[in-house]
Structure 1
Amino acid sequence: MRSPFKPRRWILIVTGVVMLAVSGCAWIPEGEKPARFIEAPSTEHISSHVHFDKAKAPAKQWPKPEWWREFGSEELNSLMAKALQGNPDLKAAAARLRQAQALIRVEGARLLPFLDADAEFANERISEHGVFAALNREEAAGANIVFGKMNPLSLRYEFDFWGKYRAALEAAIGEAASEDAEMAETRLLLTTAIARSYIRGLALRRQLDLSRKIVELRKEMLHLAEMRLKLGLDSEDPVEQAGIELEAANKREAGLRDQLDIQKNLLVRLTGGGPIPLDKLFAAGIHDSKALQLPAKLPLELLAHRPDLAAALRRAEAASERIKMAKASFLPTIDLTAFAGFNALTMTKGASSLANLLFSGASFSYGVAPGVRLPLFEGGRLRGELSAQLAEYDGAVELYNDTLLHAVQEVGDSLSSWEETHSILKAQVRLLSSSRKNQTLAEERFSIGLDDRQTALSREYTALDQEHALQAVEAEHWIARVDLIEALGGGYSNDLKIVQQKIAHSQDHPEGFSLLRWLITMPAMFDKK
């Protein structure tokens, strides 16, 4: 008897049901307008008052990756080398980067078919008192059910029609690029911290040597005051004052020793606890006397070399791809499974015949099973996930905006500090020069008997005190130089054109950063081991 339903009618019914289900599951709620990247503020007001030496201005990237070599200190270079190999924070950042790179492989595997092989064998004895034995005691009672299956080829593949898994791959690439920038930021913070500590320690070491000379000078001045008291040339007041000044000098020397120990211990921690000859530390010094060679202008392109800014942008990139993933979850998924192999099941008193039966041509089997899954009702889960991803994207964009404004502020502050400390340093050098001239005049007057020894020692103390202050001012000027290097990224390289293209594209399409990021970063990520 012919069925009343024609095959064409069945096809129409199934197609109608599928279309209805797709229309029901494809509704994606519209959220609020996404956050937007702000335009970078101009740096003209920052560098307009700073005078650069255009003749010496570097033409290529500045700062250089190993910027600390410009200080001309082999001791500082050695500390940097130890830190880059042994610092725990840097090793942890490298581990996070490797983890992020491994997730790229995990997410990329979802775009490929899964092939595997499986085999299964079972031998089950039927109870003589069970149901099967009761139905067929002669054949089934005490017999064995032997089953064998061997599929040397099984395939599972989910079609990525809506770009869900490609977006997951893009998000993983963005996270890995962010971790790469975070590692560069950790390296920058580490090297600048070592440079600051070394500069402070170097200044403290020189100040300590000067303080010891000041202590000896104060002792001599106290001895002269006591001699004048014994000779009846002065009262006890100069003796008391000389004693107070000696104890103040002793106190300053002790404080300098304590601060110097702090810098030594800090360097030990920053370098990862490696062997550092603490007794000979800060002996080499800095031999660079050149002026800071900045570019003739400070364009905004230099800010693209900041690793924290690059990391914030990559986070926003990854968040935008996760929006695409959340939207794709509203759409149906289509997959395909297939297998080819052998399977056989027999009931026998022994299992020896299974092998001949399993590998016979009649036991060959295969199957193909396409599947469609429609998210008709998820209890609000999909909308919640989409809202969460939109909020994460907005937060990532605002973090980038805040990082950008903070970067401009840091550049401005460090430039101002570098300029001001340079002016203070020149004034302190002039002041020290005047003090030494006064000291020379006092010694000459003492040699011809116009002044006493106490006046000459007092002038010598003034010169030593000004030299003591010069070490602090010079250290602050060098530290301001390190601050500016840190503010400009410390040699980190980032492609500004790609950054600008992504920002411009994301203004209107926050869920779709280009796959170009993958093509650019993928080779470098697998090369960095």
Structure 2
Amino acid sequence: MSPLRTLTVAIAASLASACTMIPEYQRPVAPVPANFPNAPQAAEATPADAIAWRDYFADAQLRDVIALALANNRDLRVAALNIEQARAQYRIQRADLFPTIGATGEQTAQRLPGDLSGSGDADVFRQYSATVGFSAYELDFFGRIRSLNAQALELYFGTEEARRSAQISLVAEVASIWMTLAYDRERLALARNTYESRLKSHDLIRRSSEAGAVSALDVHQSQQLLQSARADVARFSSFVAQDENALALVVGAPVPADLLPDTLTDTVSAVAELPAGVPSEVLTRRPDVLQAERSLRAANASIGAARAAFFPSISLTAAAGTASSTLDGLFGGGSGTWNFIPLIRIPIFEAGRLQASLDVAEVQRDINVAFYEKTIQTAFREVADALADRATLAERLDARRQQVEATQAAFRLAEARYKGGVDSFLGLLDAQRSLYLAEQELIFVRLADATNRVALYKVLGGGWQ
């Protein structure tokens, strides 16, 4: 068998049948309870991670703002570029599985003095060569390169999951800021209406005081309420401006005015209820958990590379071409040349370096196991917290609505009694304060309900589609 054919057979065998020493991967058992607390019974509903964000959010303005953010947000853009970088790194690592073939052209000139040339005269010897071949190509019999290739592949897949996780966080953040802006705008509108109402009431009381119908104390108490509402208008105006700035930052571009909310909508979600499902099934589909698992798989693959380093490595250098002492004879008949240099390296004494490298790889794998388990535990808590909040929100909303109705009735009664001269202005003052606070609390609970729906959608893995 010719040397070239032997070389071809060796390379083919290396690529086709090389084994690896990567330990068998086993997904760690999720260290969380078997069921979520306070989970609703909605087994037939579509899981959150299977619902596209366009189908989940009911408000068309909010959907347009989210789309704008997905197109312009810089953090998401960085996550996408990280995928491209990891893909290129994987391609670089994968290239080591194949020989690097290159062509070279070379001229060698050497002058020999007369006492060394044999003829007694100084002479110049020249050699020209042109070859095609490869150098130091490692035959991956023990899977070292394949293990490193598997590690790079898992890291690449991990960046894909990181981008999905970043998109979920972005969608939830945009929705939360958008709804916070609606909440502050609604509070600002309430404060303005309250200020205008109190201004009219204050003018009426002041004129009554000038006519001697009411005391100066009523005027001062009315002034106190008026200025309190005025301060709230200024404070909420600042909150609205800050919310608009925060929304523009997370979107990554100016948000058109027609996409900004005026009031807090009660129909944020187009889905009535999200099923919590079984933790071991739901949480392991979350992109951040999948990213942690990809890192664990990559660490597991690196153990195979560390194990393979204990065994002999075989590398080949080969080239074929033509050589001549003259340039015009370089491609003449009989000028063909080739070389084939197999090299085997057997580790004998490394002063513990190889074992230490293996220990590092195994410890890193154990670290990734712990990180994976912690990621699942964190995800479980996020879902449990969102479900706990969801379980009481309906009752809180109903209680706040009834409270507003009751305080409105109390205010109307206190106003009638004051105008009828039955009670002092102090009773009407307390009724006005109570109504204003009750209306603010109702708006806050409505915000809590809306943001909880977004949070539950996020922690159950929705939003990446």
Aligned match for 2:28, one of 34, 37, 45: 37
The alpha carbon displacement at 1:58 in A equals 5.3
The letter for the 1-side match of 2:63 is: N
The answer to whether the aligner puts 1:79 opposite 2:65 as a matched pair is: yes
Aligned to 2:52: 66
Aligned to 2:374: 402
Residues 70 and 288 of structure 1 are in contact (CA less than 8 Å); yes or no, is this contact kept in structure 2? no
Residues 28 and 373 of structure 2 are in contact (CA less than 8 Å); yes or no, is this contact kept in structure 1? yes
The letter for the 2-side match of 1:42 is: P
- Structure 2: which 5+ residue stretches go unaligned? 1-20
Distance across 2 between alignment mates of 1:242 and 1:282? 33
Aligned to 1:482: 454
The letter for the 2-side match of 1:157 is: Y
Distance across 2 between alignment mates of 1:225 and 1:291? 50
Distance across 2 between alignment mates of 1:460 and 1:333? 86
Structure-to-structure mapping, 1:487-502, within 5 angstroms: 487-492=459-464
The letter for the 1-side match of 2:89 is: L
The alpha carbon displacement at 1:458 in A equals 7.8
The alpha carbon displacement at 1:437 in A equals 4.7
Structure-to-structure mapping, 1:220-235, within 5 angstroms: 220-235=200-215
The alpha carbon displacement at 1:136 in A equals 4.4
Aligned to 1:388: 360
The answer to whether the aligner puts 1:313 opposite 2:293 as a matched pair is: yes
Structure-to-structure mapping, 1:419-430, within 5 angstroms: 419-430=391-402
2:317 is paired with a residue of what secondary structure? strand
Which deviates further from its counterpart, 412-421 or 192-201?
412-421
Structure-to-structure mapping, 1:42-57, within 5 angstroms: 42-44=33-35, 46-47=37-38, 50-52=39-41, 54=42
The letter for the 2-side match of 1:205 is: R
The answer to whether the aligner puts 1:417 opposite 2:408 as a matched pair is: no
Residues 330 and 382 of structure 1 are in contact (CA less than 8 Å); yes or no, is this contact kept in structure 2? yes
2:214 is paired with a residue of what secondary structure? coil
Aligned to 2:85: 99
Distance across 2 between alignment mates of 1:153 and 1:340? 6
Residues 339 and 367 of structure 1 are in contact (CA less than 8 Å); yes or no, is this contact kept in structure 2? yes
The letter for the 1-side match of 2:395 is: S
2:102 is paired with a residue of what secondary structure? strand
Aligned to 1:111: 97
Distance across 1 between alignment mates of 2:40 and 2:160? 35
Structure-to-structure mapping, 1:497-508, within 5 angstroms: none
1:341 is paired with a residue of what secondary structure? strand
Residues 90 and 153 of structure 2 are in contact (CA less than 8 Å); yes or no, is this contact kept in structure 1? yes
The letter for the 2-side match of 1:71 is: F
Relative to structure 1, the CA distance from residue 169 to residue 284 in structure 2 (aligned partners, 3 Å threshold; closer, same or farther) is farther
The alpha carbon displacement at 1:92 in A equals 1.1
Aligned match for 2:231, one of 235, 251, 264: 251
Aligned to 2:191: 211
2:344 is paired with a residue of what secondary structure? strand
Distance across 1 between alignment mates of 2:309 and 2:103? 30
Aligned to 1:339: 319
Structure-to-structure mapping, 1:503-518, within 5 angstroms: none
Which deviates further from its counterpart, 449-458 or 370-379?
449-458
- Structure 1, residues 75-121: CA drift from partner, whole Å, max 9, x if none? 21121111111111111111111111112211212222322221112
Relative to structure 1, the CA distance from residue 152 to residue 298 in structure 2 (aligned partners, 3 Å threshold; closer, same or farther) is closer
The letter for the 2-side match of 1:259 is: F
Distance across 1 between alignment mates of 2:424 and 2:228? 21
The alpha carbon displacement at 1:330 in A equals 1.4
Residues 167 and 464 of structure 2 are in contact (CA less than 8 Å); yes or no, is this contact kept in structure 1? no
The answer to whether the aligner puts 1:133 opposite 2:122 as a matched pair is: no
The alpha carbon displacement at 1:292 in A equals 3.5
Relative to structure 1, the CA distance from residue 252 to residue 357 in structure 2 (aligned partners, 3 Å threshold; closer, same or farther) is same
Distance across 2 between alignment mates of 1:360 and 1:421? 91
Residues 148 and 343 of structure 1 are in contact (CA less than 8 Å); yes or no, is this contact kept in structure 2? yes
Aligned to 1:328: 308
Residues 86 and 159 of structure 2 are in contact (CA less than 8 Å); yes or no, is this contact kept in structure 1? yes
Aligned to 2:14: none
Which deviates further from its counterpart, 377-386 or 176-185?
377-386
Relative to structure 1, the CA distance from residue 361 to residue 457 in structure 2 (aligned partners, 3 Å threshold; closer, same or farther) is same
Relative to structure 1, the CA distance from residue 236 to residue 410 in structure 2 (aligned partners, 3 Å threshold; closer, same or farther) is same
Aligned match for 1:368, one of 340, 343, 351: 340
Distance across 1 between alignment mates of 2:35 and 2:125? 87
Residues 61 and 259 of structure 2 are in contact (CA less than 8 Å); yes or no, is this contact kept in structure 1? no
Distance across 2 between alignment mates of 1:284 and 1:243? 29
Residues 383 and 459 of structure 2 are in contact (CA less than 8 Å); yes or no, is this contact kept in structure 1? yes
The alpha carbon displacement at 1:66 in A equals 3.1
Aligned to 2:144: 164
Residues 71 and 287 of structure 1 are in contact (CA less than 8 Å); yes or no, is this contact kept in structure 2? no
The letter for the 2-side match of 1:264 is: E
1:275 is paired with a residue of what secondary structure? coil
Residues 221 and 429 of structure 2 are in contact (CA less than 8 Å); yes or no, is this contact kept in structure 1? no
Structure-to-structure mapping, 1:345-364, within 5 angstroms: 345=325, 354-364=326-336
The answer to whether the aligner puts 1:263 opposite 2:249 as a matched pair is: no
The alpha carbon displacement at 1:396 in A equals 0.6
Residues 171 and 318 of structure 1 are in contact (CA less than 8 Å); yes or no, is this contact kept in structure 2? yes
- Structure 1, residues 305-349: CA drift from partner, whole Å, max 9, x if none? 21111111111100011111111111110122222111123xxxx
The alpha carbon displacement at 1:44 in A equals 2.8
Number of residues paired by the alignment?
440
Distance across 1 between alignment mates of 2:99 and 2:271? 61
Distance across 1 between alignment mates of 2:455 and 2:323? 72
2:202 is paired with a residue of what secondary structure? helix
Aligned to 2:3: none
Aligned to 1:293: 273
The alpha carbon displacement at 1:151 in A equals 0.8
1:44 is paired with a residue of what secondary structure? coil
Distance across 1 between alignment mates of 2:271 and 2:108? 83
Aligned match for 1:90, one of 72, 76, 86: 76
The alpha carbon displacement at 1:144 in A equals 3.6
The letter for the 2-side match of 1:176 is: Y
Residues 65 and 490 of structure 1 are in contact (CA less than 8 Å); yes or no, is this contact kept in structure 2? yes
- Structure 1, residues 199-253: CA drift from partner, whole Å, max 9, x if none? 1111111111111000111212222332232233332222222212212111111
Relative to structure 1, the CA distance from residue 109 to residue 373 in structure 2 (aligned partners, 3 Å threshold; closer, same or farther) is same
Report the RMSD for the aligned CA atoms in angstroms.
3.2
2:37 is paired with a residue of what secondary structure? helix
- Structure 1, residues 119-144: CA drift from partner, whole Å, max 9, x if none? 112445x3xxxx61344496743x44
The percent identity for this pair of structures is 27
The alpha carbon displacement at 1:39 in A equals 3.4
The letter for the 2-side match of 1:197 is: I
2:127 is paired with a residue of what secondary structure? strand
Distance across 2 between alignment mates of 1:423 and 1:287? 15
Which deviates further from its counterpart, 384-393 or 148-157?
148-157
The alignment's TM-score, normalised by the length of structure 2, stands at 0.85
Residues 162 and 287 of structure 2 are in contact (CA less than 8 Å); yes or no, is this contact kept in structure 1? yes
2:314 is paired with a residue of what secondary structure? strand
The alpha carbon displacement at 1:449 in A equals 7.1
Residues 68 and 77 of structure 1 are in contact (CA less than 8 Å); yes or no, is this contact kept in structure 2? yes
Which deviates further from its counterpart, 471-480 or 335-344?
335-344
The alignment's TM-score, normalised by the length of structure 1, stands at 0.75
Aligned to 2:13: none
Residues 305 and 492 of structure 1 are in contact (CA less than 8 Å); yes or no, is this contact kept in structure 2? no
Residues 52 and 464 of structure 2 are in contact (CA less than 8 Å); yes or no, is this contact kept in structure 1? no
Distance across 1 between alignment mates of 2:385 and 2:214? 53
Relative to structure 1, the CA distance from residue 413 to residue 398 in structure 2 (aligned partners, 3 Å threshold; closer, same or farther) is same
Residues 160 and 166 of structure 1 are in contact (CA less than 8 Å); yes or no, is this contact kept in structure 2? yes
The alpha carbon displacement at 1:364 in A equals 0.8
